[in-house]
Amino acid sequence: MYQYVIRGGNPLAGEVNISGAKNAALAILAAAIMTDDTVVIDNLPNVSDVNVLIDSIEGIGATVKHIDNHTVSICGATISSVVVDYDAIKKMRASYYLLGALLGKFRKAKVALPGGCTIGARPIDLHIKGFRALGATVNIADGCVVAQAAGGLSGSHIYLDKVSVGATINIMMAAALSGGKTIIENAAKEPHVVDVANFLNSMGARIRGAGTDVVRIIGVEKLHGSEYSVIPDQIEAGTYMFAAAATKGDVTVKNVIPKHLEATTAKLLEMGCEIHEFDDAVRVVSKGNLTHTQVTTLPYPGFPTDMQPQMAVLLGIAQGVSTVTESIFENRFKYVGELARMGGNIKVEGNIAIITGVDGYQGARVCVPDLRAGAALVIAGLSADGITVLDDIQYIQRGYEDIVEKFKSLGAEMELVCSDEEIRAFAEAK
């Protein structure tokens, strides 16, 4: 079992390159199997979720070549099975994208119900509603979603009762290869929804309106090969920006689309940080004390739920009382108990965290409950007095490429270790 160990207190300074967006990459990889031609995808983040999905795509027979750490070519012509079993993807949420992709291409799919971070119940009823509206029969059997449309898929008018990134993308994929026109209303507008639509369009799909709440798709008979580069990860970027703020640092995040970071930068400005925006970079300078604020997570362009734990950690060392309202997932405050062990003062009432700022965190041994909570605890550790040890870091590795190297390049003292001896050696090495 590996751990991260951090000696906190160094203000982060310098430049850090942001990797490709995990959540865009996962959907794009699944969509890549929808053509028999070869597709080349680059700017993939080298994180475990992406690698698990690539393995499961290979597992159903697609030909995958790793061109370098961030680039693969995928050819779906060799796919021999439409069954994706539990072992292949049990730890992964995005496995559900293989449903839309396989159903669109082969008119049938059997994919194990998704796992992923336990941040809420995370039903997929809207995905299923969408597939049914396109003419598929969908059942749950052996822990799998079984979807088929022997007579083909036909365009439909679908209203999503709740804004869902996954359902929007999944329906978009299946509808891209259906007969006729599909309209998705109350669609998610996240940058990765747009990125997946752009990718599908680069393969010959006809999707308009992605990035607005009405997406229109005219089905085509087949898709062709493409070369595509995944957009930068707005959540990884936001995490480094908040780490800069928490450590009173001066960090430039590079290879980003500043527009995608607006909700994050707005909060940093409110809290008293300086922000400098460039074409593809954002610099965060944090000098004085941080001030309290209120935050509510909302679908894009609102404040992202994937930045909520990082936000709470930052507000935990801001002056005054702040609130964070989580409106997307019902179980995303699992880091609060761990943060209390570092001196944080957060009380949760329903979906609201009431945060009373403390002067600073103290290092402690903490357990990572999920991906973004893990990133938040790293930020707490970087700003804390003393040594922080994080257990269960596999959650963090699902979504953050080279996190140790990136933070070290900004002046952090942080290591990946695998024994208490190594932790002791790190702690004594000063």
**Residues pairing with 355 in the sheet:** 322, 346
14 versus 123: smaller Cβ distance to ligand EPU: 123
Task: In angstroms, give the least distance from the CB of 324 to ligand EPU.
Answer: 15
3 versus 305: smaller Cβ distance to ligand EPU: 305
Phi, psi of 421 (to 5 degrees): -60, -45
191 versus 357: smaller Cβ distance to ligand EPU: 191
Set 117, 144, 273, 367: catalytic member: 117
Task: In angstroms, give the least distance from the CB of 284 to ligand EPU.
Answer: 21
Produce one character per residue of 356-366: b if its CB has 16 or more CB atoms within 10 Å, e if not. Answer: bbbebbbbbeb
Among candidate residues 281, 400, 297, the one with its CA nearest the CA of residue 352: 297
115 versus 272: smaller Cβ distance to ligand EPU: 115
Among candidate residues 26, 17, 114, 23, the one with its CA nearest the CA of residue 72: 26
Instruction: Give the tokens for residue 350.
Output: 């329903």
Are 336 and 313 a contacting pair, CB within 8 Å? no
Instruction: Give the tokens for residue 260.
Output: 């995608």
Q: Is 117 a catalytic residue?
A: yes
Task: In angstroms, give the least distance from the CB of 78 to ligand EPU.
Answer: 26
Instruction: Give 304-341 as a DSSP string.
Output: -GGGHHHHHHHHTTSBSEEEEE--S-TT--TTHHHHHT
Task: In angstroms, give the least distance from the CB of 130 to ligand EPU.
Answer: 9
26 versus 346: smaller Cβ distance to ligand EPU: 26
Are 416 and 404 a contacting pair, CB within 8 Å? yes
Give whole-number Cα distances, 356 to 271, 300, 314, 426, in Å: 14, 27, 11, 32
Give whole-number Cα distances, 397 to 229, 369, 404, in Å: 22, 13, 10
In the complex, the residues that contact ligand EPU under the rule CB under 6 A are: 23, 26, 93-94, 117, 120, 122-127, 162, 164-167, 188, 305-306, 328-329, 371-372, 399
Task: In angstroms, give the least distance from the CB of 243 to ligand EPU.
Answer: 17
Instruction: Give the tokens for residue 52.
Output: 């698990």
384 versus 390: smaller Cβ distance to ligand EPU: 390
Task: In angstroms, give the least distance from the CB of 329 to ligand EPU.
Answer: 6
Cis, bond preceding 301 (omega within 30 deg of 0): yes
99 versus 364: smaller Cβ distance to ligand EPU: 99
Task: In angstroms, give the least distance from the CB of 380 to ligand EPU.
Answer: 18
Give the count of alpha carbons within 13 A of 54, CB side only: 21
Q: Which residue is nearest to ligand EPU (CB)?
A: 166
Are 233 and 16 a contacting pair, CB within 8 Å? no
Catalytic residues: 117
